[in-house]
Each structure stands twice: as C-alpha cells, then as structure tokens.
Structure 1
Amino acid sequence: MTVEGVPSSADDEQCSPSTAAELLLRAAHNHPDNGVGYLGDDPEAAPQTMRYPHLLAEATRLLHALRGRGARPGRAVALLLEQPRDFLPALWACLLGGLTACPLTPLREDPQRWAAQLRNVAALLDDPLVLTTPELRAHMPTGARLDVVDLTELTTGDTQQLSVDVVARPEDVALLVLTSGSTGTAKAVQLTHANLVASMRAKAEAHRAGPDDITFNWVSYDHVAAVLEGHLLPVATSATQLHIAPQSVLTDPVVFLRALSAHRVTATFTPNFLLGLINARLGASPLADALDLSHVHRIISGGEANPVATGVRFLELLAQHGLPRTALWPAFGMTETCAGSLYNREFPDADADGEFAAVGRPVTGLEVHIADPATGAAPSAGTPGEVWLRGPMVTTGYYRDAAATAAALTPEGWLRTGDLGVLNGDRLTLVGRSKDSIIVNGVNYYSHDLESVLVEVEGVARSFVAAFPVRPPDCDTEQLAVLFASTVLDEELPHVVARVRDRVVLHWGFRPAVVLPLPRSEFPKTSLGKVQRGVLRARWEAGSYTERAHEVAALVADTVGGHTDPQGPTETALAEIYAELFGLSAISATTGFFDLGGTSLDVLRLARTVRARLGVELPVLDVLRAPSVRELARLIGAPATADRAYDPVVTLQASGEGTPLFCVHPGVGEVLVFVNLAKHFARERPFHALRARGFNPGEKPFGSFTEMTRSYVAAIRRVQPHGPYALAGYSFGAAVAFEIAKVLEADGERVAFLGSFNLPPHIKYRMDELDFVETAVNLAMFLGLVDVDEAGRLPGRLRSLPKNEQIATLLNLAPPGRLAQLNLDLPRLTAWADLAHGLTSLGRTYYPTGQVRAMTVFCADPLRGTRHDWVQKELRRWDEHTREPVQYVDVLGEHYSMIGPRHVHAFAALLRAELARAFSETALDPGAT
C-alpha cells in the first residue's frame, strides 16, 4: 500500500529558497528582531539572545576565517562544539559557504571510545577540518591524524566589510550525520541542501508554524532532531528559538516544564522517555508552584515508540497547568528523512484503543509504502510490512559507503526503514522493527555491537548470545534483553548473570531488563550459524521462557538473601533511591548495593542523589562500608563521631568461601578503583581493599612507610587472623603489599599469592620525579579530570601558580558534570592532593630489601616508553626479591586503564587464573578452581 502527503496549494515565500543558506538570509531580512536565545542554569531567567542578523554576521565572519584556513566548498568540517552559541554560527558558516558540516559530540567519559570515534571520522571524511574550542582541543585524545582548529584561531580583519557570499548549491551535501548508538564504525547519512529545504517546507506546513512561534530545544546537536527540528525549522519559519544544555533537563525533568511556562513556548521536541520521567516525578511529588502551559501548541515526541498510556498520563497531569489536550504529537522520522516526517495530530482520541500511538500522516511530498521486505510487493490491506519511504527529504545515501547505500535504498529510490508498520488509510502505525537495533531513551543501540563484547565475558559461550529490545508492561521506553548460553553449571550462573549485566552497564551505560541463560539448544541459527534474534524475541514475548526466568531469578535471589521490608523514613527513602538506580520495583533492606549490580559510577550517583533528596553528605567510604539500605541508614543516622574510627580495610564484597583477597590502594590512597574488579569475585572469595589514612576529618596521615605497613598488617589480621593470605597492590600499593607479605612471612604465616599491578620494586626514582604539582596532576588524571596528554603538559604550566590556583585550574579543566559525580570542590581536591603528596613523599624514602616466597606481576603499558623496556628493565627486578620464579602476566591496557571499565573483565579472568594457580599447591582455599 502506498500513500503520499497531500500537496499544498499554497505558493508562499517558503517555496522560494533552494538552499539552506537562503533560509537564514530570509529570516534575518524579514524578521530581524527574532533569533536564538540561550538559557543558562536558571531555565526561567531571561536568555542570552543572538538575533538572526547577528547570527548571520557571526556565521559570515567564521566562513571568511575558515576560508583563510584553507576550507573550500565541498570540504567536510567536523563541528566538535558543545554549546549552542559556538555550534550554531559554525553550522551556518558551513551552510553559507558550501562546506559540509558534520556534528560531533565529545565522549569525555570514555577517552578510548572518543579516540576510536575520531579515527573513524578522520578515515571516513577524508581529511576533515575539525572545529572546536580551546578547552575541548586540550581534552581531545591523540592518535587520529586530524586538522584541528579552535574558535579563538579563527580571526578576521574588519568584520564590517565582510559580505555574505553564498556559494552552496541545492545538490551539495550540507550535513553529514553519523549514525548513533553503536561504538562500532558509524555510517554518515548525507543530507543535501535540497533535502533540507524540502523537509523544512513540509514540516512548516504540517506544524502550521510561523514567525510568532517560540520553540524550545534541549537535545544535543549530534541528534538530527536537535539540528533540524530544534533549530533549522524555526529559522525556516523565522520563529524565536530557545536552547538549553541537555544535562539541565536530564538532571531535573521539571526544568523542561519550567522553561515552557516561563518563556511562553509554543513548540518543542522530546523523545518519549522524558514524558515518562516527568510522569514519575509529578506522580510522586506534584508541583508546588503554578505553571502556565496554555500557549503550548505542539510537543513533538519521536525517536522511539510512544505508549498511549504514557502520553495520556502526561496530558492528564499537566491539564491543570493549562496544557491543551491536543498538544502532544507522536511522530516518526529518521536521520535519513531529515528527522520528523510523519506526525500524529489526532492523539490521544484516535489512539484510545491501542497500546502504542500511531505515528500519523506523512508530510507533503513524502510517500509511504508498506512492503514485503523480501519482494517489495505490497501485502494485503491492513497487513503489516516493512515501511518504505520516498520523497525529496529522503537522503541520497551514506557518505562513501556504496554497500550501505545499496542495502538501504532501492533502485526506485525507496528507503527501507527497517521498521514494520500498517497503514489505515494514510495513517501509519508502527508494529515493530525488522532491523537489529534497540532504542532506549531515544538512542539507537545495535545488537551486534553488544554481542561482540558479551562473548568475551567469562562463562558465556561464544556465538550463543542475542541482544534484542523488549517492552515490559507499563514501561515508557524500550528495554534490553540479553539471552546467552553459559559454559558453567547452574550453581555458578548468578556469577555469570552478574558479569553480563555489569558488562552491559559499562559498555552502554544502562542496565538490561532481562539477562537470561538458556541451553544452547534453545538458540535457533541460520545455515550460516547466525543466531536468529527475531525467533528468540518472539518466544520471549510468547512466554516460552517464563519458567526458566523464574528458575534463574530464584538462583540469583538465593545468593543475596530473601526480601526484608525497609523500616523508617531513612530506610524507605534509600530503598526508593536504590530502586531508581537499578530500575527495580522493590528493594530489600538487607540486599547489598553491589549485589544489585552497583558500579563505581553508581556509587557516585548514589552519593549525589542522597545529597539532593536527604540533604546528607554521603562519603564514598560510607557506601563501601555499609552497602545495604539498612546498614547505610544506620550509618547516616549515627552521630558524626560514632562508628567512624579509622580502619584501613574496606570490604568491597564479602561473599564466597575462598581465601580473602586484600588489595592495597594506588598512590592516590583511595580504593574506589577496585569496585568493578571486586564484583567479579562475588560468591567466590571476599575482596577487601586497604585505604590510606587521612581522608576523614581529624585523621593524621601516615608518617612513614613502616607505620603504614604495620597498620595494614594489623588490620588484615583482625579480618583474617591466619594464612594462607592473598595480597595484591595496584601501582604504589604493590610496594606496600610486598612489605606486608614480608612481615606476615616473618611471623610464620604463609602468603600463597602476592600480586603487583604493574609496579616495579624500585619506586624511589619515580617518586623523586613527583613534586606536589606532578602528584596533583596525576590525581586529576586518575579521577578523569584531565586526560593523559594534558597531564603531560600541565605541570610546567602550573608550577608558577600559587597552590590554590593550581588546584583550581585542574577543577576548571574537568568535564562538565564530573565534579558533581565525584562531589569534588577546591577544599576537597586540595586535601586529597595533599594526602597523595604525602604518600609520594613516603615512597621517596622507600628502598626494597629482602625476599618473599613468590610473586605474580601483571604487566600493562607503562606511563612512558615501551612495554618491552618496562618489563625487561623495571618489572623484572622483582626477580631479585623472590625465592621462587616470578610469574609475569601480560594484561590489556595502560597503567591507568588496566582495571578500568574497558579492561576489567579481561583482567579479572587473568587474576582469577593466577589465584587458582597459586593456591593449587594447597587444599586450604575453597575458592581455588
């Protein structure tokens, strides 16, 4: 079945532009008082405004400067710019000058993934110019050969004499938009000026948009809806537009509503998941102050399916604030169709009988065809098929990727969307997807990307993994199901389930709703051995695996104990916070934070949420010492001086029958670095970390290496009075672990395992290099405030500054949100740097003597030089200090990333194997396998 949007009879001024550049020229000429407003931290405050003539002037200035930098028509310019006031003028400089803009988002929290992104961009775009800010340029990882320029370098002479010189043509590629969601190699959707103009004309007609509109955007510019729906459309209609940083809305969804009310917004866009967040927030805590949403004409909601119940609840909750019942428009669009291209203006009345809202009718010029994916033929009326789209707003293909273009576009120009739908007249309803992706919170994630990572998890059978979307009842967004075959017995399955869940969290940033081990016989495969995800998904939805899911849930429940209801207001509040963090409906008061799958990042999120909800400063150590709701509530309610005596031992996980493992902190003194590693030993052996003295108020740091060693030995023996012992140390901690082992062996105890995580015995020479500035910079690098390359440049820059300014500079360089995650400010970071400097000073007086029985050294890339030289000239000097041959084990990553999120799974497997080998000589370790 095929339909086409109703042609417009209007022949107005929107028909005249042929390039996107002309849209801005027209807006600046016809409506010079309208423009772009930038909202700050207070969403209700007056915005900083750049009117359209000023935006045109700034874009023209940048274009002349880019030309002076060698940018010629047709060259790709990657826009690595986070703030609207930087991004939008740069975008228009490209559109005016016939340059091809490619928006990028910095992946600050994952430097390795960011480096891979930049290498891909360099290869795909063929020598692009990367336009960024000085701050982002300083944080960019090295490795990709890119021509980078920052905005401060783009200067021109007399800006009053610059003329607007539009050289773009309709057929020129205006935008390259990288496909989102996968950490694999992205494709680039190419959108021409003709695509953009056709789309804007059709959108404006569908929205009935005009210059009196006030629009609001909070979505980041790597999302096509932000660039086109949130910015280019109001330019095309000469409307006033407002923009705010995404984090402002994601941190507090009510900010979205406050901005709509305060600025009398008439139109906005948001994925459905935000509606669900707002519903949950208002359902739990109605707004105390009045909002006026009566002027909101349309809230376009696309990017993922829209459950009818979510939309209706949203409209009901906000009706008392004047939101019209017709204001919510479910929609559909893709990057390949210039974002929104079908709109449902009849919601909710026309969708009352459905679970999901229809996506509506196509815009003018867009054809919709329901096809059999194999033949292209139309099925009988009312029968679902693959949605194919064709029209002037549809992409011409993927940049420099003929294979992907041929797979997506038929010879007749139809775009295969991969979505399944059914037409009722000209009204489209989606009923599923044929392509292998999951949409969570409006972002596409690709099944193959995750599956390639999960097959490396210990206990998962290779080629027997399937990741696909599910939508549990009453859920506002799709969720992830992971089915896999295991290589272990049922009693070991909880370990593997936890590893799979944690790997998803660390790789994609959210928890799967379903993690289910199945027999290999349950995995249907094609003749080529490919797992048929669609069959597994159909079986799951039909309830075929319900019994197995209950069996696995019971196994997992047995490992964390039964359910205990929270008691009292603090326990109840903490249980609600835990439930939100882990996406669960109920939390037992006695279940441990890490048993639920908590990661080191979750610890920081918990501390931040507790501070916001309960007004309590929650030290990271408190979560580590008291991980259950009940324990943490008791600690929060205790007097400030109670139960706070210094104890070096922090138990990161207590379950398991194996000999406990004690790991000594690195040179920064903190133990949060071990959290993700400890999770891999749950129900195998307890994992304890040793934390330096001096973090808590009134604690005096250690005065000597010997005092530190004796304190740690005493603490270890309080937990485990006698051997055999298992010890390890990360970086600086390896020397301390060596000294602890010497003391224990001198006392007649057996140290069955001693590990060094990439540290040689002679640390004095390295410690001598580390003055306070070097130590503070290394601490900042350890905390993710600066990257490795920046850390190499900073000491020389900082040494001439007073101490407070040194630390303040490090804080100022931190990625947005990182300081809030870590609960860091100037006094806290200064105190931490002082403590780390004190430990460094102890290392300057340390010289290794004597021997221990045996040792394992885990070898990663060094801070500088080659791994070969590091191992042969430095790490192998441990041979002088053992009576038996040292075991040298190569591990993935660098010194600072070897047990980080990217490599912790591989490291844990190697550490487990070495523990098993070391304990194979004795039958005293039940955990040795």
Structure 2
Amino acid sequence: MPSLTIRDVSVHPLPVWFYCSRYHIACQNRTFIQGILGLRQDTVFLLHLDNHLDGIIWFWSVVLAGYTPALSPPLVNNPDQHRKHLAHLKKLIHSPVVLTTSKYISSFTDLNIYVLPSSPIEPSAEHVTAPGPGLDSPASPAVLMLTSGSTGNAKAVSLSHSQILSAIAEKVLCHQTTPHDVHVHATDLVSWPLAFLDIIAQHHVSFSFAPNFFLASLAKELRSRTRNGENPLILDLSSLRCITSGGESLVVQTALSLLEYLTAYGCPRSVLVPGFGMTETCARSIHNNKFPDYDVDNGLSFAALGTCHQGIEMRVVQVDETGRSTTAPVGEPGQLHLRGPLVFSEYYNDSFNTRKAFVDDGWFVTGDLAVMDEKGMLRLAGREVKYNISELQSALDMANIPGAVPSYSVGFGHRPEGHGTEVVSVVYLPLYDPDNGKARAETNDAIATVMLLQCSARPHKIIPLGKDELEKTSLGKLSASKLRLMFESGRFDAQGEENKTLLAAYYAHAASSTRSDETTPAERAIEQALSEVLNIPIADTTPNSSMLHMGVNSMQLIRFKKRVQDLLSVDDIPMVTILTNTTVRSLASALQPYCEILVYLNLAKHFSSTRPIYALRARGFDSPTQPFFETIKECISTYVQSILAIQPRGPYNILGYSFGSMFAFEIAKALQSQQGQRISFLGVLNLPPHIKQRIRQLNMVTAILTLSLFLGLIEDDDPATFFPAPPPGTTTSSNPAKVVEEMDPASILDEILLNRAPKGRMDELALTRDKIMRWAEVSNALHAMAVDYEPTGMVEHVDVFVCRPLRQVARNKNEWFAEQVSKWVYFSRTLPRFWDAEGEHFSMLAEENVESFAEILNKALQGRGA
C-alpha cells in the first residue's frame, strides 16, 4: 500500500497486513449495514463504542457502505440532560441509526438502535470492495463530530476527507512522527497515572496526549512516592519525544514539577507541548514547541499556546460598539479568529449556528479571548473556565435539593492557589436548622452528587451562607462572578470552616453508629474497594460512610468503579449508579440483584432487536418500612404512571413472565382504554389467564422455595419432594398441601441456607437471610392481591409463549395448553399467537434456553411489526 502524500509530506501507514485485515473486516461489516431496513441516502450512523479498534473498524464500515459516520462522545451522567441530549440529536441529525454494543442499549432511548454483531460477519458470495459514495469527492463529508452534549444542544461539525487528510499531514510535519512511532491513548489511564509511564517505557512510546489535570495528577503521584520514601521507579522514557497538552491551560509550575521527573527518566526537556485546537479545526492546530524555556523566560503562569500549523491562520481582533472589527494591538486581549483549509465550513443541519460562527472573509469566531505577543505567540486571556456557570446553575436549580432554598445556590469554577487544575465550588442558602446535622449532611451530599453528575468532579468546597451574603440583583438573579470573587478573597472562609467542623462531627457519629457485624458481603466488598482506592484502613469505613465526605475525586471514582466490579464479579456498573448512591450501604443496595427483574437479565444480554428494556419493580423491596401494594388497581396505576413518565406516547411493547403476565395484561388494557395508547406487542410467558386457583395454593413457604429455586439455592421447589418425610414440628400427613401448611417459613429458609444451598452462593449473590425473607414477603403480598382475581376485558392481540409447566399445575405441556393456556382466546380481539418455548417454567429464560427464546421472541415481535 503506497504512502499518502499531501503538500510533499508523506503520511506513512501502519504495516500493510494491519490495514488489509481491518479493511477486510470493514468490507464484511458493510453487509450488516446495508441490510438495515429503511435507510435513506442521507442517513447518519452514530457510533457509540468504548473500544478504539472497534471504533476504527466500524467507522470505515460505515464509510465503505456509502454513509456518513458521527462519533458519539461519552454521555453525560445527569439523567435529565441525557434525555435532552438524545432528543436534540434525533432532531439535529434526522433520527440517526445508532451502532453500539448491548452494554449501551438502555442509554439510547427513542433512537433507532442496532447492536453490533459479537462475532465476525460472514462474507457474502460477491464481496464488493468499491468505495461508497462518500469517497467520491475530497470535499464531501467524511464524518460528523459532536462538539457538546452536556446541556442537550450539541452541534455537529462536518469535516471533509480533504480537511482530515491535510490536518494529519500537518501534524506529522509538526511532530516529525515516523512509521515506527507508537501512540498510547491517555484516557485509558486516568485512574492509574503511574501506569501511563510504565506503558511508555514498556512499549517505547514516542508520542501521546495528556490534559493538564492528568499531568497534575501524575506529578502529585510522583511527589507522593518521594515524600513517602518509596523506592524510585526504574524507567527508561528516552523514546518519548512529545506529550501534547490541551483542553485547559497548562499550569507552568505544574509542568516544571513533572519535568523534573520526566527528564530524570530520559525525556527531553521539550517533551511537553501545549497547544490549542477545536473540533472545528480538525483538533490541534496551534502548538508551542518552545515550552518551557519560552514560558519561564517570559514569566508566564499559564503556558503559551504557540503558533499555527500550515494551512491555518489566526488573528486577534477587538470589536467596538458598532460591531466593527480591528486588529488588537500586541499584548492586548481580543477575540480569537481562525481561518484556512483546516477550519470546518458548516455545522450539520444548523444554518443558524453556522452563520453565527463566521464573520467577514470566512474567519471562524472561536469564542475565546486571546493575546498575541510581539513574537507571534498566542496566549489565552480571560478564557471562560471549563465549568460553564450557566450549566452549573441550571443543574442546581433543576435538582430541587430539599435542604437548599430554591434559586439561592450558585456553582462556579476557579483555580485555588497551589492547585494544578481547575475546581468547582458551590455556595447556597440553607433551609434546615443550623443544629440539624443530618439535614446539613444530606444537603451537602445532594449538592455534591449534582455536581458529580454535571461535571464528573467533586466540589472543592460547599458552603452554606446567610441570605445577606446571597444578595440578588434588581433582576432577581445571583451574580456568580461576584460571589466567585468574594469566595476567592476569603470572604466565606469562616463559614466554610464552621461547616466543615459540623459535618465532620455528624459523619463521625453516623459512622460509629453502625456495627461492623451488621455489614453484608456486598457492603464489605465496597468498603474494601474504598479502603484500597483512598489508601485508608478498612476499619475507617462503615456502611454509613459517604464517598463524598471521604474526599473521593473523579479519577479515584474510576478506580473505585473498576475495583468494585472485580470484587463483586459485575461486568459493568453505570457511573450514574455510583454517583447517585454515595454511601456504602446505598450503593450495595443499588447493586443488589432483585428477584423480580433478575430473571430478565439473560434475555436483555442476548436480545438482538436493539431496543431499550425497562423492568418494573414491586413496591416493598427498598426497605422494611416501605409499604406493599394493597390492590391490583393500585399496582397497575403506579406501573402505568411510571411507564408514561419514561415514554409518554406509544406504541409500547410489553412482556410479562409467569405471575408478571397478569400485570402485563392489565397494564396493556389500562394503556389502551384509559390512556388511548397503542400496544404493538403484548407477550405472556407461560401463564394462563385464570390464576386464582393456583394463587390460593401459595403462601410464604412456597414463596421462599420459589425464590430459592430461581436463585440457585435449591434444585426443586416441590414441598413434597423437598421434605418427603414430615419436617420437625409437623404432624404426619400424606397430603403435600397439608405438609406445606404446617411448615414454618423461617425454619425452611434456615434449612435451605444451612444444608441445601451451594457453598459460597449467598456471598456470590451478595444476599443475606433477611433480604431473602423480605423478597418472599413481597412476593407473598403480591399473590395475596390476586386470590380473587378474574380476568376481564380484552386486548387487541397477545402472543403466548408456552413451555413445560410446573408439576403442581399440569401433567404435561399438552394438558397445560389445552386446559389452561389456550383460554387466552377469550381475552384477545384477534386470535392469539402461541409459541412453543424450550425448558420448564423456571428455566425458559435460563442461560441454556435464553438464546433460542430470544430468536422466537424476535420472530414474534417482527410478526407484530414491533
């Protein structure tokens, strides 16, 4: 494969075999893409992947199929802003097709989602390798890059093939990269900064990128080792020529501190290269190749950004009151404008923002204030902090925090003295009594959680203030900039120290109130993870310990997440789950497997129709004081309102398993008759419409046996075979039903846990005896509502999946269908569709059967047009 030459600069490819093998896979993948129904000529494919190699392959798969890829950035943690972001994307890029993995299915509600195949696609008989339409012209769009998504108003930058190729050529020229260079992605290492250096040394890395906050963290780790007297690292970093830095201003003092270590390991003094770039400029387009000598000689606190690549030019202008622009004098601030072949030409499907972005003669307005010095070096001046004040304010206002007066909370970004990177702090007006330590702590943690969700950073400080210090303007607003200046001047230091002391006293009392012998296996695992990540004794953690109070930062959160996943053998814990459950106990509870939804996990993992899946939980699981549903009507009303809150309009696809099928039937009727909504699919898994006879046979003992069977604690839930001889404390009886009546629920659960359950199974599921008993109580309460249940009314249609029945209800599948399940014909306006499923009642969705069931379910959904 020949090298690509642009402006006499050769861009050398990786070894030919690498490109050929990936190209072959991409050509096969185009078969999958072109097989998707309903594609338009202008369809955009939104790629949301967390594996870089997959991202490269599927990017080219889309291009070769003749369509435009859009690269999806990490999604925000705030659920409200997440929904707004997706709604905006749907409108902005005309309902894109989302290509992702099963891990992210639930993240893209109301969009057309396709899960990427987990195994290589078989090549078609006639394998076409001709480029798609997108490659016909160098000026045609190559990719859409999303610039923002934190507030739901992202813009999509359209970059052409020629712009991207030119940008690559200029970067090669600037950094003098060669075909032998190795590139490491720094974002994979944020949780273990020292591993960054280890990989560089091990693989002889020559070029990388790292933002200021990561460099500051790396310098801190190295200083900590020195102070603690740890053995020095044995590293050879002589291969490393360049670490570019951007995203926020590089602090000169931070960089100098790090350079002391890097140069000792063999790096050149010029290894750190600050710069500036935007998505709109094909990323980095301005570099400071004279750092740090230039910056030290000129006494700069923040590194200069440097000069432009070829193919781009910059200017700093001042705009007067009439809108007339003039070149800013040397050393004076003004607006930074960029122009040239590397600068984008439009925001996709957004003529309004495109017009705003450009001024006379095609100059792009970056939105940054800058200074040009006498040597033509660019510096930023008055640049907005990375934590946008309006976004922070919006997040605080929308949170409706109970302990804070509405509209009297302000968040702002700032850089405290001695800090290597920017932080965020919050001031607020409290509603609680000053002596109420619990309310103070809950409000503090709620504010910290909002900020973590908004900007993935724990607040530097959270300070309650009096109303006289939170004076509003004549327009009824608080001035964030004024409060920031007051904060930085030390005006609120006394209030901050007082709040810190009161919080510490409350947290110490709360932590000591929990005895260590009350902890569950999951709680102990989370405590262990906190102990390791924060480097504190495990004795200092309790179930009431708050991660926010203990000072966990964003990078430690990533390490903590990975460690908890390892200790609990969990594939992936959504970061939002951790951020919204900030105590050990609340997180353990949030990660607890729930019996009524756990049954669907295997199906969700294998489901191939690429749609979000929501599970409805019965009330009563969260705490012993939470009331159970008392009537079916109350339960259905609650479920319907929950469904409407997530998806206000149909059509809906509803699936119920076993006893849940009754609820699915009633929910479908309510959505149809009460809400006027369309049900495109209603699925019933192995339940007849008439159930009260079976329900009247159930009690707490059968509930415990059923749960134990489902959780793998026993192999048979039939009381007659479980206790072939009368258990202790019961009278002799040959009637299994009589035996069941005389069993004590607590005794049978103890028998299961002590003598029947596989060793280690309870720890594996992070279960306790009390939690299983609670599950059984919830299940028993649900059954109690249905002892007199008689199905009434009709749905438009229903699909019924039939497998082998329980021995207690029928002798075989034929009898089960003929005498009970077939009765669904009386409750559907059209003839029900019956599907034969593998397995028994409790195993039809088990691992050994779920794949075949998913295939049947897909056919059923397609048959209904769902």
- Give the TM-score range, shorter chain: 0.5 to 0.7
Q: Helix, strand or coil for the counterpart of 1:372?
A: strand
**Where does residue 369 of structure 1 map in the other structure?**
315
Contact 1:270–1:300 (CA<8 Å) still a contact in 2? yes
How do residues 482-631 of structure 1 correspond to structure 2 at under 5 angstroms?
Answer: 482-485=426-429, 494=440, 499-517=446-464, 532-541=479-488, 543=489, 546-561=490-505, 607-611=528-532, 623-624=542-543
Contact 1:267–1:298 (CA<8 Å) still a contact in 2? yes
Contact 2:215–2:255 (CA<8 Å) still a contact in 1? yes
Contact 2:369–2:381 (CA<8 Å) still a contact in 1? yes
TM-score scaled by length of structure 2: 0.59
1:269 corresponds to 2:209: yes
**Distance in 2 of aligned mates of 1:308 and 1:124:** 40
**Cα 1:180/1:69, change in 2 over 3 Å:** same
**Cα 1:364/1:555, change in 2 over 3 Å:** same
Which structure 2 segments of 5+ residues have no match? Answer: 515-519, 551-575, 593-616, 637-655, 662-681, 687-705, 715-759, 785-794, 796-866
AA matched with 1:313 = S
Contact 1:344–1:361 (CA<8 Å) still a contact in 2? yes
**Distance in 1 of aligned mates of 2:713 and 2:129:** 42
**Where does residue 209 of structure 1 map in the other structure?**
177
Aligned residue among 366, 372, 387 for 1:423: 372
**Distance in 2 of aligned mates of 1:250 and 1:794:** 47
**Cα 1:793/1:557, change in 2 over 3 Å:** farther
Which structure 1 segments of 5+ residues have no match? Answer: 1-10, 18-25, 35-49, 220-245, 563-587, 632-671, 680-687, 696-728, 738-754, 775-791, 808-824, 850-864, 866-929
**Where does residue 67 of structure 1 map in the other structure?**
34
**Where does residue 46 of structure 2 map in the other structure?**
78
**Distance in 1 of aligned mates of 2:578 and 2:257:** 43
AA matched with 2:314 = V
AA matched with 1:608 = A
Aligned residue among 117, 136, 157 for 1:151: 117
Aligned residue among 360, 370, 392 for 2:306: 360
Contact 1:593–1:627 (CA<8 Å) still a contact in 2? no
Contact 1:501–1:511 (CA<8 Å) still a contact in 2? yes
Contact 1:437–1:445 (CA<8 Å) still a contact in 2? no
Q: Helix, strand or coil for the counterpart of 2:381?
A: strand
1:400 corresponds to 2:288: no
Contact 1:300–1:331 (CA<8 Å) still a contact in 2? yes
1:15 corresponds to 2:15: no
**Where does residue 760 of structure 1 map in the other structure?**
630
**Distance in 2 of aligned mates of 1:396 and 1:55:** 31
Per-residue deviation, 1:150: 2.3
Contact 2:392–2:451 (CA<8 Å) still a contact in 1? no
Q: Deviations over 1:333-359 (max 9, x none)?
A: 122222111111111111112211111
**Where does residue 330 of structure 1 map in the other structure?**
274
AA matched with 1:412 = D
**Where does residue 787 of structure 2 map in the other structure?**
none
**Distance in 2 of aligned mates of 1:629 and 1:197:** 45
Q: Helix, strand or coil for the counterpart of 2:172?
A: helix
**Where does residue 732 of structure 1 map in the other structure?**
620
Aligned residue among 146, 159, 162 for 2:129: 162
How do residues 758-907 of structure 1 correspond to structure 2 at under 5 angstroms?
Answer: 759-760=629-630, 828-830=763-765, 832=767, 836-844=771-779
1:391 corresponds to 2:366: no
Contact 1:764–1:843 (CA<8 Å) still a contact in 2? no
Q: State which drifts further: 170-179 or 458-467.
A: 458-467
1:187 corresponds to 2:155: yes
Q: Helix, strand or coil for the counterpart of 1:91?
A: helix
Per-residue deviation, 1:678: 11
**Distance in 1 of aligned mates of 2:33 and 2:621:** 50
AA matched with 2:376 = D
Per-residue deviation, 1:283: 1.6
1:457 corresponds to 2:401: yes
Q: State which drifts further: 531-540 or 200-209.
A: 531-540
Q: Deviations over 1:462-519 (max 9, x none)?
A: 4454433200122122111334455677777956555433432344432222434556
Aligned residue among 101, 106, 119 for 1:140: 106
Contact 2:333–2:369 (CA<8 Å) still a contact in 1? yes
**Distance in 1 of aligned mates of 2:279 and 2:271:** 24
Contact 2:448–2:548 (CA<8 Å) still a contact in 1? no
Q: State which drifts further: 123-132 or 98-107.
A: 98-107
**Distance in 2 of aligned mates of 1:503 and 1:118:** 20
Contact 2:43–2:96 (CA<8 Å) still a contact in 1? yes
**Where does residue 828 of structure 2 map in the other structure?**
none
1:128 corresponds to 2:96: yes
**Cα 1:290/1:527, change in 2 over 3 Å:** same
Contact 1:132–1:150 (CA<8 Å) still a contact in 2? yes
TM-score scaled by length of structure 1: 0.56
**Where does residue 303 of structure 1 map in the other structure?**
247
**Cα 1:466/1:399, change in 2 over 3 Å:** farther
How do residues 557-706 of structure 1 correspond to structure 2 at under 5 angstroms?
Answer: 557-561=501-505, 607-611=528-532, 623-624=542-543
Per-residue deviation, 1:593: 10
**Where does residue 743 of structure 2 map in the other structure?**
none
Q: Deviations over 1:350-406 (max 9, x none)?
A: 111221111111111222222235643333321122322222222223222233333
**Distance in 1 of aligned mates of 2:466 and 2:534:** 44
Per-residue deviation, 1:88: 0.6
**Cα 1:109/1:390, change in 2 over 3 Å:** closer
**Cα 1:806/1:423, change in 2 over 3 Å:** farther
When Rg is computed on C-alpha atoms for both structures, the one with the higher figure is 2
Q: Deviations over 1:617-650 (max 9, x none)?
A: x599x6126789999xxxxxxxxxxxxxxxxxxx
Matched-pair identity in %: 24
**Cα 1:773/1:528, change in 2 over 3 Å:** closer
**Where does residue 412 of structure 1 map in the other structure?**
361
Contact 1:182–1:445 (CA<8 Å) still a contact in 2? no
1:343 corresponds to 2:335: no
1:33 corresponds to 2:25: no
Contact 2:316–2:335 (CA<8 Å) still a contact in 1? yes
Per-residue deviation, 1:183: 4.2
**Distance in 1 of aligned mates of 2:367 and 2:471:** 22
Q: Deviations over 1:860-898 (max 9, x none)?
A: xxxxx9xxxxxxxxxxxxxxxxxxxxxxxxxxxxxxxxx
**Where does residue 476 of structure 1 map in the other structure?**
420
Q: Helix, strand or coil for the counterpart of 1:51?
A: helix
**Where does residue 260 of structure 1 map in the other structure?**
200
Q: Helix, strand or coil for the counterpart of 1:504?
A: helix
**Alignment RMSD:** 5.1
How do residues 712-751 of structure 1 correspond to structure 2 at under 5 angstroms?
Answer: 731-732=619-620, 736-737=624-625
